[in-house]
Structure 1
């Protein structure tokens, strides 16, 4: 294992960000800084339409903030860590790429917030737990957990989970819509990679437009959302990818998209 807590690499057009800070991917200032650097590498990788965020540890996706480090740090350093964590999640949400959290271990606090900021969450069956326990420290989630959770599961369920701070299992997360797809532990990596590979071979401009139309449209009225949709689809009509898509359909062959 390398010295870095977070690394980025590309595999056949799929970007992969791996968290690997022993023993639980509990993050400190150095780790969130390295996460931000890995995000910038992914964002600058023009060959990539999809990025998988995963853990290199066997039992944990991410245990959230390193409470021991947090309690010993200066207020200034803790604020830097929180600010960088928020920037990381904003980068994911504003990206033209699709980010997929691949979860196969305990995912708590800030780890859940990382997963919620991703566009999709694919997970493995198992006995591990998820939760946002900040209330038990006299706090609330500070990296978007309240706002992203309520948009996924609704007000009543979000309040139930956040007010108690109790953990829940992966089957519950799937049932509530927090997790998109649930696989066996053996299948998770390949299934997630295959989905991401399909996106990376797809029409990058249309994928980006889809993400932006959904993320922007969900916050406004239907009338405003339809205007947002029209704006993005109008921009796609004259692209090379749209032309290729039509030709491939007519010629009954697989399209070869270029992202232009």
Structure 2
């Protein structure tokens, strides 16, 4: 059975649904396109920080409650009417959220079935996995057409996902692209029919969530931090995190379950 917890300020815009399996779902519901402004970003940030402190949650899925959009990024009308300082504050809030997702001890999955543009794609790329539905909608980072560049991690996370040449072309043209091209580029980690996306994401999330929480967090940290370190330092980080797990109850449970030829039941 699922329980629902919502933000107190604006319940309809950002909602958390938690499952008994240890998966939390963040639903964005700001019609018509989940185009964000600073207050909306701060609400999302509160949810991310709340889930980070929840030991019962191992996996977080970010999805949209809207039919046509995952997220259109910054609300351009708001952006155009803001002062430069207001826009810098908006971008700073978006960066904080993206960094919090990437640096989280939880595994984050973006579940996408509608247009995913600009800052919306930056949110998705901060996640550990991007799952998408088949369909006639678009991805893209069109900031160059506004005389800007992506400022919430878009350039750096895109090049790490699809490589320099493809990233350069997409960033310099600002062109949008469909689901098929997103898959070909390597942007997506899974693609499903529209009818099976939610179930496919749920099954994958549940499989991960059944694992040991501390080992999941350690795995994510070794990959996130270690991949940018020289090999010797990466190995040292791995050793530090691996050694800390040997005395945990979950390690004891995993070993005992193996000996008893049963599935482990992890609690941490």
The answer for the alignment partner of 1:29 in structure 2 is 38
Q: 2:16 aligns with which of 5, 8, 31?
A: 8
CA deviation profile, 1:156-195 (whole Å, cap 9, x unmatched): 1110110111011111111222110001111110111121
User: How far apart are the structure 2 equivalents of 1:25 and 1:236?
Assistant: 40
Question: 1:78 is paired with a residue of what secondary structure?
Answer: helix
The answer for the alignment partner of 2:5 in structure 1 is none
The answer for the alignment partner of 2:152 in structure 1 is 143
The answer for the alignment partner of 1:50 in structure 2 is 59
The answer for the alignment partner of 1:123 in structure 2 is 132
* Structure 2: gaps (5+ residues): 1-9
The answer for the alignment partner of 2:214 in structure 1 is 205
Aligned residues: 259
- TM-score, normalised to structure 2, is 0.93
Question: 2:196 is paired with a residue of what secondary structure?
Answer: helix
Q: In the alignment, is residue 134 of structure 1 matched against residue 140 of structure 2?
A: no
The change in CA–CA distance for 1:164 and 1:15 in structure 2 (over 3 A counts) is same
Q: Which has the higher helix share?
A: 1
Question: 1:182 is paired with a residue of what secondary structure?
Answer: strand
The answer for the alignment partner of 1:66 in structure 2 is 75
The answer for the alignment partner of 2:234 in structure 1 is 225
Moved more, 216-225 or 73-82: 73-82
User: How far apart are the structure 2 equivalents of 1:5 and 1:249?
Assistant: 45
Contact 1:47 1:200 in 2 (8 A): no
Q: In the alignment, is residue 154 of structure 1 matched against residue 167 of structure 2?
A: no
1:222 shift after superposition: 2.0
The answer for the alignment partner of 2:7 in structure 1 is none
CA deviation profile, 1:78-111 (whole Å, cap 9, x unmatched): 2221111111111111111000000000000000
1:4 shift after superposition: 3.6
The answer for the alignment partner of 1:182 in structure 2 is 191
Q: 1:85 aligns with which of 64, 83, 94?
A: 94
Q: In the alignment, is residue 250 of structure 1 matched against residue 262 of structure 2?
A: no
CA deviation profile, 1:6-57 (whole Å, cap 9, x unmatched): 2222122211111110001110112101110111221122100000000000
Root mean square deviation, CA, Å? 1.4
CA deviation profile, 1:139-168 (whole Å, cap 9, x unmatched): 100100001111111111110110111011
Q: In the alignment, is residue 173 of structure 1 matched against residue 199 of structure 2?
A: no
Q: Which runs of 4+ in 1 moved over 6 A?
A: none
1:77 shift after superposition: 2.3
Contact 1:26 1:63 in 2 (8 A): yes
The answer for the alignment partner of 1:163 in structure 2 is 172
Contact 1:14 1:49 in 2 (8 A): yes
